[in-house]
Structure 1
Amino acid sequence: MPLLPAFGPTSWRRVVLTLLLALAAALLCVWLRTPIPWMIGPLLATSLVSVLGVPTESWTPLRNSGQWVIGTALGLYFTPAVGALVAGLWWAIALGIAWALLLGLGFGAWLRRLHAGHLAALSPAELRSTTYFAGAIGGASEMTLIAERQGARTDLVAAAHSLRVLLVTVTIPFALQFWGVSGLDTLTPGLREVQPAGLLALAGLTLLGALLMQWLGRANPWFMGALVVTMAVTLSGITLSAIPQPLSNAAQLVIGVSLGVRFTPAFVHTAPRWLASVAFASFFMMGLCAVFGWVLSRLTGLHPATLLLGTAPGGIAEMAITAKVLQLGVPVVTAFQVCRLVAVLVLAEPVYRWRYARA
């Protein structure tokens, strides 16, 4: 079995042209001084042309490499002092997990009630599973796989998660820029210089971690494997190397592309009423999370922007990248998002069975 997928001339051309488009969009956003330009520019440009029917393509090994780089970069923030700080916030992280589960339950129940008449083709069981897993605040691919086991309509589940992550990824950085918060982070990596030998050693260790996670069948193996290994190394007091900024920018670009190519013309025509309700609920949940983050900030003494990112209903990589670029409490945001992701993946299906066992 080949390690890399086979590509025909058309596929290679699509990948290259998509990357060139993404690079041009990123450079434009840098010039316009938008927040998170290396991810938001490619994301918006790729999603726009994809929706218009232009053939775009994301190469999976590039996306995996981007997640590998970002996971490694985030792990460098977890120095022993930062680790002690994050460990002391276990109760706040637990509240964040409970909040995410309740938010997902409420979102799913609202979708079910709203669309019971519009999705008449679905049986009651299919409607329950579709709306429940579409509302869960978890990863799109993981929630779609679990939903498929429960007989849900997976295209609606995937569409809901993709649209929610897109809206959160674009809205929150611009809201933070309008708020004027950035550069507040005193939690910086233990080493800011690039050390070639240390970088090579770090790459080898994190690659082994990613491949192990992939072999074990874990979610987001390239991100989680690199993050866990780098955290372990950094928490032990060892500082190998910083991540070169151009490499971090390239990683953000390919992650933005991998999100943008999901938005095809078929995506838009899947169920307009469904997508409209998901968009409305996504903005509403962002508002609720802002209030919840503010409450947690009063209890913990951390900046509200940090806890807004930590509890936002977006993807872990996207929210962590936002925290990294704007310097808004990277370890805290990463810890909140990682723990929530793991908890939702573990609990979503058991909670569904418990919630609808009688039905």
Structure 2
Amino acid sequence: MDSRFFVRAAATLAVALAAALACVWLHTPLPWMLGPLIATSALSLLGAPTQSWTPLRNAAQWAIGVALGLYFTPEVTALVLQLWWAILLAIVWALLLGWGFGRWLHGVLRGRMPGGPKELRATSYFAGAIGGASEMTLLAERAGARTDLVAAAHSLRLLLVTLLLPVAFAWLGLHGSDPTLPGARVVRLPGLGLLVLATLAGAWLLARTGRANPWFLGALLVAMGLTMAGIQLSAMPQAFTNAAQLVIGVSLGVRFRAEFVHTAPRWLLAVTVGTVGMIVLCAGFAVLLAWATGLSAATLVLGTSPGGIAEMAITAKVLQLGVPVVTAFQVCRLVAVLMLVEPLHRWGWLR
């Protein structure tokens, strides 16, 4: 990486910060994430040389993981464990929904896209699976799918869910229905140092194993373990989580280059329509699950939505919508999808 890379990255962060501050002034929902996301996406699509730096994204994932882990007090953990059956239902729902989305993509675009039948089936299957963009793209490559279309589908899905849900919640006035508080609520400098060291060690160890999302999950697991054990070292400074939201918004926004729109526009249109459909279906499923569990429907919409862990958990944190429940649902789904999607494809199930 030369100096131009860092100049572009710094300029992108400066624009993102300006957008975040503007959104704070305008009182928009999730200003520190949506402002940078919208500004960076727009500039990228216009051809500006926006840039994201991977170590910063890792640091942002770590900060969000720590902040979320602090919510898992013994009382909250007991509540989440009682919801094991609802989480299991949500996993099955996610697998079936992803399969249905993939089948729909295949049916809409069959005969209109280049490639053989096997390649197109694999492409639509992994593009429809509700998992992380990088992980699903890697699995798609192993299956001989078109990785460019799979990556584009997941990037667009995450963008749409991250933009639409917070705006819809703000418009409907859905916030504060489950204001769970973290175990540690005061920043203590000696304790914060120990918390940083412990969670960084957890993230580093998980990264060494080659697992998905190690900086988020490693930090989350360590912070959860400490909080569940009643060890409250320190809260996370609000500035840390604001900066993390900004970087996550930038990391998602820089994916949308000008050539992105010109690559298979029919595919992108189908993904857009399908994603909106999945959001509506997930909302209906969440309402039914809320009736069965007694939890807030808004919380379960975030927990079962086809969005990313960090983005949905941030939304829950800012809007006070049951952070531990949303995090538990999203993390369990991620792990299950990563473990099951490839074997199900290989065995011929769900395709």
Where on the TM-score scale, by shorter chain, does this alignment land: which range? over 0.9
| Residue 12 of structure 1: aligned partner | 6
In the alignment, structure 1 residue 175 sits paired with structure 2 residue 175: no
1-structure distance, mates of 2:220, 2:143:
31
In the alignment, structure 1 residue 114 sits paired with structure 2 residue 127: no
The one of 30, 40, 45 equivalent to 1:36 is 30
Structure 2 contact 178–296 (Cα < 8 Å) conserved? no
| Residue 229 of structure 1: aligned partner | 222
SS in 2 for 1:355: coil
2-structure distance, mates of 1:174, 1:273:
26
Matched residue type, 2:275: S
In the alignment, structure 1 residue 127 sits paired with structure 2 residue 136: no
| Residue 78 of structure 1: aligned partner | 72
| Residue 3 of structure 1: aligned partner | none
Shift, 1:191, TM fit: 1.8
SS in 2 for 1:194: coil
SS in 2 for 1:183: coil
Structure 2 contact 133–155 (Cα < 8 Å) conserved? yes
Shift, 1:12, TM fit: 1.1
In the alignment, structure 1 residue 281 sits paired with structure 2 residue 251: no
Gaps of 5+ in 1: 1-6
| Residue 296 of structure 1: aligned partner | 289
Q: Which moved more, 1:184-193 or 1:144-153?
A: 184-193
| Residue 4 of structure 1: aligned partner | none
SS in 2 for 1:288: helix
| Residue 256 of structure 2: aligned partner | 263
| Residue 315 of structure 1: aligned partner | 308
| Residue 53 of structure 2: aligned partner | 59
Shift, 1:352, TM fit: 0.8
Shift, 1:193, TM fit: 0.6
Shift, 1:88, TM fit: 0.1
Count of residue correspondences:
351
1-structure distance, mates of 2:349, 2:149:
20
Q: Which moved more, 1:282-291 or 1:179-188?
A: 179-188
Q: Which runs of 4+ in 1 moved over 6 A?
A: none
CA deviation digits over 1:261-290, x for unaligned, max 9?
A: 000011111110000000001011000000
1-structure distance, mates of 2:205, 2:232:
23
CA deviation digits over 1:144-166, x for unaligned, max 9?
A: 00000000000000000000000
1-structure distance, mates of 2:208, 2:179:
37
| Residue 144 of structure 2: aligned partner | 151
Shift, 1:356, TM fit: 6.0
Percent of aligned pairs sharing the same letter: 64
| TM-score in terms of structure 2 length | 0.99
CA deviation digits over 1:203-240, x for unaligned, max 9?
A: 00000110011100000000000000100110011111
| TM-score in terms of structure 1 length | 0.96
2-structure distance, mates of 1:75, 1:334:
9
2-structure distance, mates of 1:123, 1:215:
37
2-structure distance, mates of 1:325, 1:240:
22
